[in-house]
Amino acid sequence: MNLQRFAFVFSFIGSILISTGIRSQTSTNEAEVKPAETLEIDRTINPNVDTILKKSLPQVNIIDKVYSRTQEEEEAYQKLKRRVIKLYPYALMAKQIYETSAQATSSMTNKEKRVYLKGKEKELRERFENEIKALYTTDGPVLVKLIHRETNKTTYELLRESKSWINCLFYQMAAKNHGYSLKDTHDPAIDKDIENMVQLLKSEGQLPVYSGI
């Protein structure tokens, strides 16, 4: 990766990770909520005569893993799998840092917030520089969708909460040059490949699960 591409990706990821707002607007991850197994007596049919035993089980996601693909489709599938495995932890990290930063700065003055975020950015640079070097701008389309899936906010919205509109415009133009937008959203009905891949990899234990702050 040359310096120009590294600078874009590092700024792109770094800006996402340090983004914060007045309040966090995240959705509950369905994989984190598992209803306990319960037993109950259903007497609604005829309370005086009939008794039916009902049993509620935890939700199970069934994913069809048996699918015949062409060689080209298989190559695309494996490429997406590698990208999701590589990028999903960054989406969870963005969610965690967004939530913790919003909580930590909720009672701070603007000056205190700037100091806090500057320190957080320095910490992230020192911790993740080597990992960021392994990312490419072509990972962007999948990353922005994963970030929206986890935070319920577009990458552009996250950036706009902590960056000037000029910086956001620069990032947006850079993304556009690579064929996607920072305003892209994740729709499970449209982005079936990504959604199925995340669910499958989670079921196989290949992706981390966010436990909250």
| Mean pLDDT (whole number) for 57-82 | 76
- Assigned domain for 48 exists: no
Q: Indicate whether 29 pLDDT > 80.
A: no
Is residue 38 in a domain?
Answer: no
pLDDT for the residue numbered 164 = 82
Residue 189 has pLDDT above 50, yes or no: yes
| Residues with Cβ within 8 Å of residue 208, at least 6 apart in sequence | 88, 89, 92
Is residue 76 domain-resident?
A: yes
Does residue 6 fall inside a structural domain?
Answer: no
pLDDT category at 26 given cuts 50, 70, 90 is very low
User: Minimum mean pLDDT among 36-50, 72-86, 168-182: which range?
Assistant: 36-50
42 falls within a domain: no
Please give the tally of structural domains in the chain: 1
Q: Which domain holds residue 119?
A: 11-30+72-203
| pTM (predicted TM-score) | 0.70
In a domain, 47, yes or no: no
In a domain, 3, yes or no: no
Average pLDDT over residues 7-20: 60
Strand partners, 52: 42
Judged against a pLDDT cut of 60, whether residue 70 lies above it is answered with: yes
pLDDT at 15: 66
The answer as to whether 211 is a domain residue is no
- pLDDT of 5 > 60? The answer is no
Grade residue 32 by pLDDT with cuts at 50, 70 and 90: very low
| Average of per-residue pLDDT across 126-151 | 84
